[in-house]
Chain A
Amino acid sequence: MIEARNISKKFKQQTAVDAISFTVNESENFVLLGTSGCGKTTTLKMINRLIEPTDGEIFINQKNIRDENAETLRRSIGYALQNTGLFPHYTVAENIAVVPKLFKWSKEKIRSRVEELMSKLHLSKEYYNTYPNELSGGQQQRVGLARALAADAAILLMDEPFGALDPITRTHVRNDFKNLEEFKKKTIVLVTHDVQEAFDLADRICLMDKGKIIQVGTPATLLFKPANEFVQQFFNEQRLQLEYKSVTLKMIWNFLNDGVDDKSLLKEITSGKNIWQVLENFSLNDEAMLVRNNGVTKKINYASLMKAFNDYKRAN
Chain B
Amino acid sequence: MEEQQSLLEFMLQQRGKLLDQTIAHIGLTFTSLLIAVVIGLPLGIFIARRKKAATVVLNIAGILQTIPSIALLGFMIPLLGIGPLPAITALFLYALLPIIRNTYTGINEVDANVLEAAAAMGFSKWQILTKVELPLAFPVILAGIRTATVINVGVATLAAYIAAGGLGEFIFGGISLNNTNMILAGAIPAALLAILFDFLLSRVQKINLKKIRVAVALMPFIILLLSSFYAIPSFEKNKLLAGFTPEFMGREDGYLGLKSVYKLNIRNVVISDAVMYKAAYEKKLDIISGYSTAGRLKAFDLVTLYDDKKIFPPYYAAPLIRNDVLQKYPEVKDVLNMLSGKINDSIMTELNYKVDYLKQSPETVAKDFLTKNNLYRQPRNGNKGTIRFGSKIFGEQYILINMYSMLIEGYTDLKVDTKTGLGGTKICFDAMTNDQIDMYPEYTGTGLLAILNASAKTLDHLKQNEDSVYNYVSDQFKKKYKLTWLKPIGYNNAYALMMRRQQSNELNVHSITDLTNYVNENQK
Binding site for B on A (CB under 8 A): 48, 50, 71-75, 79, 81, 83-89, 91, 98-99, 102, 131, 147, 157
Closest 3 CB pairs of A and B: A85-B117, A75-B122, A79-B120
* Interfacial residues of chain B within 314-371, with CB under 8 A of chain A in the complex: none
Tell me, yes or no, whether B229 is within 8 Å of chain A by CB.
no
Best-buried of B116, B118, B124, B132 by chain A (most CB within 10 Å): B116
Q: A87-B132, A89-B136, A131-B209 are in contact. Are A50 and B120 (CB under 8 A)?
A: yes
Chain B residues within 8 Å of A50, by CB: 116, 119-120
Residues of chain B in range 196-215 having any CB-CB distance to chain A below 8 Å: 209-210, 212-213
Residues in A with CB closer than 8 Å to B209 are 88-89, 131
Shortest Cβ distance from residue A287 to the other chain B in the assembled complex, whole angstroms: 50
Name the B residues within 8 Å of A81 (CB-CB). 113, 116-117, 120
- Enumerate chain A residues within 8 angstroms of B74, measured Cβ to Cβ: none
List 4 other contacts, CB 8 Å, given A74-B122, A75-B121, A79-B120.
Answer: A73-B122, A87-B118, A87-B132, A99-B121
The winner among B118, B120, B124 for most chain A CB atoms within 10 A is: B120
Q: From A74, A83, A89, give the contact of B121 (CB < 8 A).
A: A74
CA distance A91 to B209 in the complex (A): 9
Chain A residues near B144 (CB-CB < 8 A)? none
A88–B122 touching, CB < 8 Å: no
Contact, CB under 8 Å: A48 / B132: no
Residue of B at shortest CB range from A102? B122
Are A86 and B116 in contact, with the CB atoms below 8 A? no
Interface presence of B10 (CB below 8 A): no
- Could you list 27 A-B pairs, sorted by A, with CB under 8 Å? A50-B119, A50-B120, A71-B122, A71-B124, A74-B120, A74-B121, A79-B117, A81-B116, A81-B117, A83-B113, A84-B113, A85-B115, A85-B116, A85-B118, A85-B120, A86-B114, A86-B117, A87-B117, A88-B114, A88-B136, A88-B209, A89-B209, A99-B122, A102-B121, A102-B122, A131-B209, A157-B120
Separation of A247 and B42 alpha carbons in the complex (Å): 59
B135 lies within 8 A of chain A by Cβ: yes
- Give chain A residues whose Cβ lies under 8 Å from the Cβ of B121: 74-75, 79, 98-99, 102, 147
> Does B376 have its Cβ within 8 Å of any Cβ on chain A?
no
In the complex, chain B residues 93-123 whose Cβ is within 8 Å of any chain A Cβ: 111, 113-123
- The DSSP consensus for interface residues of chain B is helix
* Cα of A102 to Cα of B120 in the assembled complex, Å: 12
- Closest partner residue, chain B, to A157 (CB atom): B120
List of B residues within 8 angstroms of A98 by Cβ: 121
Would you give the 0/1 interface string for B130-144, flagging 1 where the beta carbon is closer than 8 Å to chain A? Answer: 001001100000000
Q: Which residue in chain B gives the minimum CB-CB distance to A90?
A: B209
Contact B122 A85 (CB under 8 A): no
Report A-chain residues with C-beta under 8 Å of the C-beta of B210: 91
Tell me if A85 and B113 are in contact (CB < 8 A): yes
Q: What CA separation (Å) do A86 and B213 show in the bound complex?
A: 17
* Bound complex: CA A65 to CA B114 (Å): 24
Min CB distance B133 to A, Å, is 11
Q: What is the chain B residue whose CB lies nearest that of A129?
A: B210
B114 contacts A85, C-beta separation under 8 Å: yes
CA distance A71 to B111 in the complex (A): 21
Nearest CB on A from B214, distance (A)? 12
Which residue in chain A gives the minimum CB-CB distance to B124?
A: A71
> Given the complex of chains A and B, what is the CA–CA distance between A75 and B124 in angstroms?
11
Q: Which residues of B contact A102 (CB under 8 A)?
A: 121-123
- Cα–Cα distance between A48 and B123 once the two chains are bound (Å): 13
Q: How far, in whole Å, are A84 and B117 apart by their CA atoms in the complex?
A: 8
A155–B136 CA distance with the chains assembled, in angstroms: 30
By a CB distance below 8 angstroms, the chain A residues around B136 are 88-89
B121 to chain A, nearest CB (A): 5
Which of chain B's residues have a CB closer than 8 A to the CB of A91? Answer: 210
In the complex, A89→B212 CA distance in Å?
8
**Which residue of A is nearest B120, CB measured?**
A79
Chain A residues with Cβ below 8 Å from B135 are 89
Contact A48 B120 (CB under 8 A): yes
Residues of B within 8 A of A88 (CB): 111, 114, 136, 209
With both chains docked as a complex, state the minimum distance between the C-beta of B510 and any C-beta of chain A, in angstroms.
Answer: 70
Interface string of B208-246 (1 = CB under 8 A from A): 011011000000000000000000000000000000000
A156 to B118 alpha-carbon distance, docked (Å) = 15
Closest A residue, CB atoms, query B208: A131
B213 proximity list for chain A (CB < 8 A)? 89
Least Cβ distance of A200 to chain B in Å?
A: 24
- In the complex, how many angstroms separate the beta carbon of B358 from the nearest chain A beta carbon? 60
User: What residues of chain A lie closer than 8 Å to B117, measured between beta carbons?
Assistant: 79, 81, 84-87
